[in-house]
Amino acid sequence: MAKKENNNSSNGANHVSSPVEELLLAALERNDNTFETGRYLATFKEGVGEDGTQSLATQGMRVADARDFSDQAAILENIGDADAVVFPEIGVALLSGNAAQERNMSTFAEIASDSPILSIDPEYFVFADNTYAEFLQSGTAQTDQSASSEFLRGFLQATETITKEMRGNGHSQSEIEEEVQVLGATWGVRACRVPASIRSGMGIKVAVLDTGFDLGHPDFLGRPVVGATFVGQPVQDLHSHGTHCIGTACGPRTPAGTTPRYGIGFRSSIFVGKVLSNSGSSVGGSVLAGMNWAIANRCQVISMSLGGPGGPHPAYTAAGQAALTNGCLIIAAAGNNGPGPTGAPANSPTIMSVASLDSNLQPSSFSARGKIDIAAPGRDIFSSVPRPVRYGNKNGTSMATPHVAGCAALWAETSPNMRGRALWQRLQATARRLPFPASQVGAGLVQAP
């Protein structure tokens, strides 16, 4: 069924600088189930980014550029009254809803063959992978408008609740600190053959685009960390999803006390891109801004445990290709809506998608199927979470993804030529083969060098 065009002229909440919460409120007022924000993404044809930017200005748009910000860390809330913001590394522009519609540049507009613009598509809301899957598995995502509204409404209340829990004494059962009695390594790290590797990720930049990071976590003191936010909130993680993913990809080799080794690239440089808010919600523009930043900083490994509807989306595909062209590799969670199909952005052909395995090395029941490139441990994964809890277990393809990212950092350390597409191919070529279809596990279980 064709999607209706969004018309937000009455609420004025589709500006480039509109915060996530304002866009969520506007979506509730529209009362539809498209998960569209009301803004648009213009993807330029490869190699014509400057012409694409000029074409927007020619049509009278006030255009901001990520290069106007230090290290291209473009904070959308600081864009001001711009009608569009361009992410030059990936060749994508985020357009204000009203400005785009006034110039007939919305979803169903015809694009001239000689235009530098490849496509114009709606911007969608994006969520921490586990959260979005919970809604999809409710069976109401495509059929019940009220359920869609309630889902969005929940995110407006979540930030305050999460903040209180993390600052107080209440914590969810899944994040209660575990009593670890013996030294060693987690089952996931062992399954990936990490302890036997002589590699540490030294000299490799690993960007984790998620809910941020607990910058004061004692296991990471003294580590080089570069942080940037793309959702108008401090990088400090008040959700825990991001800290858990960073722990797996980049955590220490020998945590204090009897805590087992849970991290892989223990000497890699950590780049924290906060593209999801403390409620675990975001929008495509913020995620793309984070991808643009990570590529601009030439992070050889970019890990993304998040998802949204539809796809493959041209903007994500362009970002994935830009990463490969610049010696970077984007690795993304396939999704927890199994046996449903791989979600966005992992379903883009230029982004490596990761499925989840249980400790018996069988596909997790929740793991998405279809476009799967590789698999990794994703159930009962022990890693870091924000203080005061410090450690906890989580499940999901979100947890599998940083296992691949960490191993990718170790492989990238082996040679300066092990970058981009070559790194992707090496990860697949060295994966442990499993007796399951490629649509469930891809090339198999990721292995460290």
Q: What b/e readout covers 100-111, taking b as 16+ CB neighbours within 10 angstroms?
A: bbeeebbbeeee
Contact between 300 and 306 (Cβ < 8 Å): no
Residue 272 lies in a domain: yes
Q: In which band, very low, low, confident or very high, does the pLDDT at 48 lie, cut at 50, 70 and 90? A: confident
Q: How does pLDDT run across 261-303, given as a tens digit for each residue?
A: 999 999 999 999 999 999 898 999 999 999 999 999 999 999 9
Q: For residue 174, what are its two tokens?
A: 């899944």
SS3 at position 288:
helix
Residue from 241, 244, 313, 403 carrying the catalytic annotation: 241
Residue 148 is among the residues annotated as catalytic for this protein: no
Residue 320 lies in a domain: yes
Residue 41 lies in a domain: no
CA–CA dist 364, 378 (Å, integer): 8
Residue 250: HSE in the Cβ half-sphere, 13 Å Cα cutoff: 27
Residue 10 lies in a domain: no
Q: How does pLDDT run across 367-422, given as a tens digit for each residue?
A: 999 999 999 999 999 999 999 999 999 999 999 999 999 999 999 999 999 999 99
Q: In which band, very low, low, confident or very high, does the pLDDT at 224 lie, cut at 50, 70 and 90? A: confident
Q: What b/e readout covers 332-350, taking b as 16+ CB neighbours within 10 angstroms?
A: bbbbbbbebebbbbbbbeb
Residue 107 lies in a domain: no
Q: How does pLDDT run across 113-142, given as a tens digit for each residue?
A: 889 999 999 999 999 876 665 555 544 444
- Quick one: which of 75, 101, 151 has its CA closest to 308? 151
Residue 398 is among the residues annotated as catalytic for this protein: yes
Contact between 335 and 348 (Cβ < 8 Å): no
State the angle between helix axes of 284-296 and 314-325 in degrees (0 to 180), rounded to the nearest 10.
Answer: 10
Contacts of 37 (CB under 8 A, 6+ apart): 14, 23, 26, 27, 97, 122, 123, 124, 125, 283, 284, 285
Residue from 83, 121, 210, 219 carrying the catalytic annotation: 210
Residue 101 lies in a domain: no
Residue 15 lies in a domain: no
pLDDT for position 342: 96
More confident residue, 304 or 311: 304
DSSP summary character for residue 310: S
Q: Is pLDDT at 153 greater than 90 in this prediction?
A: no
Share of residues in the chain with pLDDT > 90 (%): 72
Residue 210 is among the residues annotated as catalytic for this protein: yes
CA–CA dist 321, 377 (Å, integer): 26
pTM: 0.89
Residue from 18, 96, 282, 398 carrying the catalytic annotation: 398
Residue 428 lies in a domain: yes
CATH number of the domain residue 355 falls in: 3.40.50.200
Contact between 96 and 59 (Cβ < 8 Å): no
- For the chain, how many structural domains are there in total? 1
Q: Which of 4-18, 67-81, 312-326 has the lowest mean pLDDT?
A: 4-18
CA–CA dist 10, 19 (Å, integer): 17
Q: How does pLDDT run across 343-375, given as a tens digit for each residue?
A: 999 999 999 999 999 999 999 999 999 999 999
CA angle 272, 384, 167 (to 5 degrees): 85
SS3 at position 194:
coil
CA–CA dist 164, 241 (Å, integer): 16
Total Cβ atoms within 10 A of residue 138: 12
What range defines the domain where residue 274 resides? 162-166+183-441
Q: For residue 340, what are its two tokens?
A: 């449903």
